[in-house]
Chain A
Amino acid sequence: MHHKDIHDLAVALDRGGISRRGWLQAMLGSGLSLPVIGGLLADTGVMLGRADAATPLRVFNVPKFTGFVFFELARAGGEQACKELGAQQTYVGTTTADVEGQVSVLQNIVPQKPDAIVLAALDLNAPVPTLKQARQRGAVVITFDSDVAEAGRDLFINMAPFEVQARAMLESALANAPEGGKAIWIAPTPTVANFISQKKALDALIAKDPKYQSIQFIDTLYANDDPDKSYSVGTSAMQAHPDVRLFISGSGISTPAINKAIQDTGKSGQVFATGFALPSTMKTYLDSGTCKQYALWSPYKFGYMATYCGILIKSGKVAKTPGTEIDIPTIGKRTIEDTGIANLNSMLFFTKGHDDFESARPMG
């Protein structure tokens, strides 16, 4: 590059303007143009290259839907795991339990070259074609809370073996109504995978263990994980089945809503709604005695474990093969089972006075 040219350029710029011809001359004369363009291109290339090597792993956390405290806690857990392992979390989802919406969220994640996707699936099958695509391009897919078909994911983090979940629900049912009675199962829709498995485990456990044989399921109703729907389903079910004693639900939204229905219709003490629920939504019912006990696992640890495993698998620190043991801080050692499932397996019982995650009692 010639000093004179630079001088000319500087003078021209100094004058507060530069003619088109001036620019052209200066650029061509100094031989600037090609290197500048070439350099820009090279720089971009280098920057992109560097970005790939140095940026933290990108984890996308997709809840069933946003704005629900359960998934917000799981998100916080995921955030913590990312912090500890030097990854970066993006949380994105739809506002309602909308299957096509969730798939479209995933479709928009795929081109962003995710390193890991942590997903609470709304449907067993619909996300699978998209998840397969993500995996072909190198993403590790971890499902938690609700699974997809095996071809769509690397690992499913289950809250607990379904038999353990069923035991927690039936124990809570007996804590409410020690003599048992007629029970109604409340699920969101007929097709959510873990609710189907929960109900199967409940039926199996009742058939197997004489301790629970006093509980008799008479109906299954669907409340779409929606508080209003759950309330009305509960209210009309009490009219349709005057002899119902227990509502049992694995939905953290249905359980408190039906407790409210019981309280509002003055059936407290005669009918109980239990199963799984979040402490923040159940305190009033524990305090008033409408509900005596319910169960849950920690959603924070849930999100933490799913994200932690995703990052470890993506970075090659653990294998995802069955039999692999993963040591997860604050949770413990968990083994991957044959079907690519690992269990969080820390059930908690909530009762009056033990009504938050800190004071809840672990199931024995």
Chain B
Amino acid sequence: MTAAAAPRAFVWELTLAVLILLAAIWASLTSPFYLSFDQITFSLQQSVAVVGLIALGLVAVVVVGEIDISLPAILALGNILFMHLAVMNCPIWLAVPLVLVVCALAGLFNGLLVVAFGLPSLAVTLGAMGAYRALALLLAGQEGFADFPADYLWLGSSSVADVLPASLVLVALAALLFGFVMHGTVLGRCFFACGLNARAARLSGVRVRLVKTTAFTIGGVMAGLASLVYIGQFQSARADNASDILLFVVTAVVLGGVDIFGGRGNVVGVLLSLLLLGTLKNGMGLANVAGSVQTLVIGTLLIVSVLIAQGGSWTGAFRRLRIRAASKP
């Protein structure tokens, strides 16, 4: 990691914090309904919990220099498994580990394909996305399901001490754990090392393939966990669940300052970017901003954050353009 990278990351997080404040001020100015604790926590729970868990999983994958776009499809697979387990009256303490294992295997499978054959993860997980989604459709049959027992729904629909949504607490705990592992352990250093320079990491004794496969497996587990929150929130399951959340997830990760090419990033930044996106979505929703405009805002944020993350200062962009222009005959 270069010496300049660390302070820049700090500035980035500070910027995000300021943006969150501005977004909250904007939201409370545009809508008289924004400033209410219940409103804010409820809205954040709905917009950030499922996406946040998947985003954390994706952070692990992106930091090692790969990507997994099949995570929403793994979530849908998890939903359908929960549905079947609910139909079979499987107790929740057994259902959760079962689903987590299957989702972990789905992630592991992606990782093995990428590592064993040296395939580009974008292509592999694009295929996996279709495959897992199709599997969910096959397993789900024709109709949606809405008869989950109450204990299946608890995590996604209840509040801790009637104040904080349980799913937000889960996201916070997961972020703490991720922060600790990524920034405070040897395993975390290995993740970053693989993403920065896989060859150098291998030469210094890091088992790059194992680390990368682990990252994909973590992604799968997080998608499984998100699935448990999802069925609580929507109290229903369908094979095409979460088919439109990828933009939001990737934006949360990249806006959080994680380098899309791996090796750099910070869990705190991702948490902040989730808060920012959730606040923006809440504000725009309460102001009844048209859906197309909301998608435009999120998409623009993604592009801008990639631009900034790539050190794309305007002078740099101009210099590159000039070099290219000069090199033309």
Beta-carbon contact of A104 and B281 below 8 Å: yes
A350 to B33, CA, bound (A): 46
Q: Known A66-B292, A128-B235; judge A112-B33 contact (CB<8 A).
A: yes
Beta-carbon contact of B281 and A95 below 8 Å: no
A92 to B145, CA, bound (A): 27
B143 contacts the other chain (Cβ, under 8 Å)? yes
Beta-carbon contact of B36 and A123 below 8 Å: no
Quote the shortest CB–CB distance from A36 to chain B (angstroms). Answer: 22
Beta-carbon contact of B143 and A196 below 8 Å: yes
Beta-carbon contact of A123 and B43 below 8 Å: no
Q: Known A100-B242, A129-B157; judge A196-B142 contact (CB<8 A).
A: yes
Can you name the residue of chain B whose Cβ is closest to the Cβ of A92? B288
Beta-carbon contact of B146 and A125 below 8 Å: yes
0/1 interface trace, chain A 81-124, chain B, CB 8 Å (1 if under): 00000000010111110111101110110011100000000011
Beta-carbon contact of B234 and A107 below 8 Å: no
Which of A101, A129, A149 lies at the interface centre, i.e. has the most chain B CB atoms within 10 A of its CB?
Answer: A129
> Which A45-100 residues have a C-beta within 8 angstroms of B?
65-67, 90, 92-96, 98-100
Beta-carbon contact of B235 and A108 below 8 Å: no
Beta-carbon contact of A101 and B144 below 8 Å: no
A189 contacts the other chain (Cβ, under 8 Å)? yes
Beta-carbon contact of A111 and B281 below 8 Å: no
B92 contacts the other chain (Cβ, under 8 Å)? no
Beta-carbon contact of A191 and B285 below 8 Å: no
Quote the shortest CB–CB distance from A321 to chain B (angstroms). Answer: 25
Beta-carbon contact of B238 and A93 below 8 Å: no
Beta-carbon contact of A108 and B236 below 8 Å: no
A328 to B157, CA, bound (A): 39
* Chain A positions within 8 Å of B141 at CB level: 190
0/1 interface trace, chain A 183-207, chain B, CB 8 Å (1 if under): 0000001110000100000000000
Beta-carbon contact of A105 and B235 below 8 Å: no
Quote the shortest CB–CB distance from A202 to chain B (angstroms). Answer: 15
A196 to B141, CA, bound (A): 13
Interface of A, secondary structure class, is loop
A129 to B144, CA, bound (A): 15
Which of A66, A90, A111, A196 lies at the interface centre, i.e. has the most chain B CB atoms within 10 A of its CB?
Answer: A111
A80 to B162, CA, bound (A): 42
Identify B236's interface contact among A95, A96, A123, CB under 8 A: A123
0/1 interface trace, chain B 220-240, chain A, CB 8 Å (1 if under): 000000000000011110111
Identify A129's interface contact among B33, B233, B243, CB under 8 A: B233
* Chain B positions within 8 Å of A107 at CB level: 42-43, 46, 285
Q: Interface extent on B, as a size class?
A: 35 or more
Q: Count residues of chain A with CB under 8 A from any CB of chain B.
A: 32
A99 to B240, CA, bound (A): 9
Which of B34, B157, B233, B242 lies at the interface centre, i.e. has the most chain A CB atoms within 10 A of its CB?
Answer: B233
* Chain B positions within 8 Å of A98 at CB level: 243-244
Beta-carbon contact of B291 and A128 below 8 Å: no
Q: Known A95-B292, A96-B244, A124-B144; judge A103-B234 contact (CB<8 A).
A: yes
Q: Known A101-B244, A124-B144; judge A92-B39 contact (CB<8 A).
A: no
A108 to B233, CA, bound (A): 15
0/1 interface trace, chain A 318-346, chain B, CB 8 Å (1 if under): 00000000000000000000000000000
Quote the shortest CB–CB distance from B243 to chain A (angstroms). Answer: 8
B159 contacts the other chain (Cβ, under 8 Å)? no
B290 contacts the other chain (Cβ, under 8 Å)? yes
A126 contacts the other chain (Cβ, under 8 Å)? yes
Beta-carbon contact of B291 and A111 below 8 Å: no
* Chain B positions within 8 Å of A101 at CB level: 244, 291
Quote the shortest CB–CB distance from A113 to chain B (angstroms). Answer: 8
A191 to B241, CA, bound (A): 11
0/1 interface trace, chain B 44-75, chain A, CB 8 Å (1 if under): 00110000000000000000000000000000
Beta-carbon contact of A108 and B282 below 8 Å: yes
Cβ contacts A to B, 20 pairs, < 8 Å: A92-B288, A92-B290, A95-B290, A95-B291, A95-B292, A95-B295, A98-B243, A100-B245, A101-B244, A104-B285, A111-B33, A125-B144, A125-B236, A128-B235, A129-B157, A129-B234, A189-B240, A191-B143, A191-B240, A196-B142
Further contacts, 13 of them, CB under 8 A, given A108-B43, A196-B142: A93-B291, A95-B291, A99-B234, A105-B285, A111-B39, A125-B146, A125-B235, A126-B236, A128-B146, A129-B157, A149-B146, A190-B140, A191-B240
State the A residues within 8 Å of B (CB).
Answer: 65-67, 90, 92-96, 98-101, 103-105, 107-108, 111-113, 123-126, 128-129, 149, 189-191, 196
Task: Give the 8 A-B residue pairs with the shortest CB-CB distance, closest first.
Answer: A108-B285, A125-B236, A125-B146, A94-B291, A111-B33, A126-B234, A191-B144, A98-B244
